[in-house]
Chain A
Amino acid sequence: MFHGKAHKVGAHIDTDAIIPARFLVTTDPVELGANCMSGLEPGWVEKVKKGDILVAGENFGCGSSREHAPVAILGAGIPVVAAHSFARIFYRNGFNMGLTLLEIGDGVEKIKDGDELRVDADAGAIENVTTGETIPCAPVPAFMREILEKGGLAGYVKDAIAKRA
């Protein structure tokens, strides 16, 4: 269950917007988080409070395969992203890093910047506390749940390696 303020961004937000390449000289979540979305708007992260929710249009996370992008979002204190749709590499990366991603299609229109949201990822529902509306979202695919149950991909592979030994 997540509860926070929505920060809304547009469609086709690319990974250079999420974390510009000049910041890729580190893998530290705090340093990356401090520059989250600086390719979209310098200082964007300053308005984010821990636990806030990112809401985006279609194809969120398009562009490079840099895992620094979901790491930067997590580092900024954002645990969940709800988007119309996600770029495919970003979608895998998000789950692998423990960032919850929800595909909500046109439901994105029912959220405005600054709305208060309550997200139940397991039940697949977003409650817009500000408007009183509930927005259904696509369930997390079975295979992704399997990875999440092992605490992310690292835990999943650790298990697989232990089984091989």
Chain B
Amino acid sequence: MRRTLAEKILAEKSGEEDVTPGRIVRCPLSLVLANDITAPLAIKAMAKMGADAVFDREKVVIVCDHFTPNKDIDSAEQVKFCREFARKMGLVNYFEGGDVGVEHALLPELGLVGPGDVVVGGDSHTCTYGGLGAFATGLGSTDIGAAMALGETWFKVPPTIKVVLTGKPAPFVGGKDLMLRLIGLIGVSGALYKALEFTGPLAASLSVEGRMTMANMAIEAGGKVGLFAADDTTAVYASAHGRQNAPLLAADPGATYEREVVIDATNLSPQVACPHLPDNVRPVEELSSITIDQAVIGSCTNGRIEDLRVAADILKGRKVAKNVRLIVLPATPGIWKEALREGLLEIFMDAGAIVGPPTCGPCLGGHMGILAGGERAIATTNRNFKGRMGSLESEVYLASPAVAAASALTGVITHPSAI
């Protein structure tokens, strides 16, 4: 049987011969993840299940990244609860202090996830690891509690949508723009219950960071996973991050896809998702009358070193517009230090930005950049639901780091080439 990438990984890991879409397979897990919001419920679920141990203390990972550094007493209590569990279970990979990064940037950087892995996380953006060729998806806390105890879960094999990325992108057009374009085309439920598989010449030429940005937002189209083949580029990344001999993986030629969507980068402008859904996507030029109060560069979508370099290039020697707050949150301590070494943080500070610690913070309206009623932000994050970054009367526009940086300089949504 010729298999899509999703079917191939599930067949390999589950040992099942029949992985036609719709089949339910039980699958052992390479890694189980939770964060400071979802772990407490998962831990309580484990207790209800009568499970007094995790299946593997190296493969159950808790990253306290959402409301950290703890924003209030309640969030401190949640983190304390996670910490006590991690100590009791002897978890090797527990993060809460100076080692915390935004989970989906941190785990690939530490080599905890890699090609061919099957990963579940108590966080919807767990699909990020599809950029490395891992079948990775978000689940709720009770599913995660069961997975922590058993080291396995069930999946319904998803049908796959083939996304062919082609054409030569203009300057300032990258993974974020391609993904927003796709979500704009197929809609926020366009890949509901399905796998997205990214192929084509442009997919092959994207960096692993760009691939992770795209895979990250598979969930914004309703997708279960967003997968890239694991190729030589992946192997170089994996090996640099402590995963030697990572397998090369690709779909079988002639595999069956539910549908094919072509995203042509030729003549594509930077894309922006307008309030209040990620599929409300328009080219940046059409939004030049939209003023902003805040710009956020960071998150599991676009807080990686490549993103910070793009932003710094635009901000270098310039000043953020008066009355605009630019918040830069490098996604991991590793990225923070690299940005420091390369002088990027100084460029941000000189431009008038606020440089904060690695945290999910403002992306989900947690802290470190909440919007008041009537305020508007442009953000490199992944969701622009009503009230996502603060007041129900605030607005979030989603864009690339280049567009966010350019817009911070002018105070209106701006094409980076205009700077």
Contact = CB atoms under 8 A, between A and B. Distances in A.
Interface stretch (B36-44, B84-92, B232-240, B260-268): B36-44
B203 interface: no
Interface string B111-127: 00000000001111010
Contacts of A105: none
B51 A25 contact: no
A39 B48 CA distance: 30
Contact of A16 (B24, B45, B139, B387): B387
A42 interface: yes
Nearest to B388: A16
A157 B74 contact: no
Given A16-B386, A88-B224, A96 B140 contact: yes
Interface stretch (A46-54, A64-72, A113-121, A123-131): A64-72
A62 B142 contact: no
A42 B41 contact: no
Interface in B125-154: 126, 138-143, 145-146, 149-150, 154
Given A24-B37, A65-B122, A157-B49, A88 B364 contact: no
A93 B140 contact: yes
Interface stretch (B187-195, B290-298, B410-418): B187-195
Interface string B144-171: 0110011000100000000000000000
A12 B189 contact: yes
B344 to A, nearest CB: 29
Contacts of B189: 12, 58-59, 62, 85, 87
Nearest to B146: A157
Interface residues of A, number: 44
A97 B78 CA distance: 20
A66 B49 CA distance: 20
Nearest to B52: A161
B143 A92 contact: yes
B192 A154 contact: no
Given A62-B222, A88-B192, A88-B193, A143 B72 contact: no
B366 interface: yes
B277 interface: yes
A89 B225 CA distance: 12
Interface in B349-371: 364-366
B98 interface: no
B57 to A, nearest CB: 17
Contacts of A93: 139-140, 142-143
Nearest to B120: A65
Interface string B75-109: 10110000000000000000000000000000000
Interface string B174-200: 000000000000001100110000000
B143 A21 contact: no
A78 interface: no
A37 to B, nearest CB: 12
A20 interface: yes
Given A12-B277, A27-B40, A153-B142, A20 B150 contact: no
Contacts of B37: 21, 24, 66, 68
Interface of A: 12, 14, 16-17, 20-22, 24-27, 39-40, 42, 58-59, 62-68, 70-71, 85, 87-90, 92-93, 96-97, 143, 152-154, 156-158, 160-162
17 contacts: A25-B72, A25-B78, A27-B44, A58-B189, A59-B188, A59-B189, A62-B189, A65-B121, A65-B123, A66-B38, A96-B142, A154-B146, A160-B150, A161-B49, A161-B50, A161-B150, A162-B50
Interface of B: 24, 37-38, 40-41, 44-45, 48-51, 67, 72, 74-75, 77-78, 121-124, 126, 138-143, 145-146, 149-150, 154, 188-189, 192-193, 219, 222, 224, 277, 364-366, 383, 385-388, 392
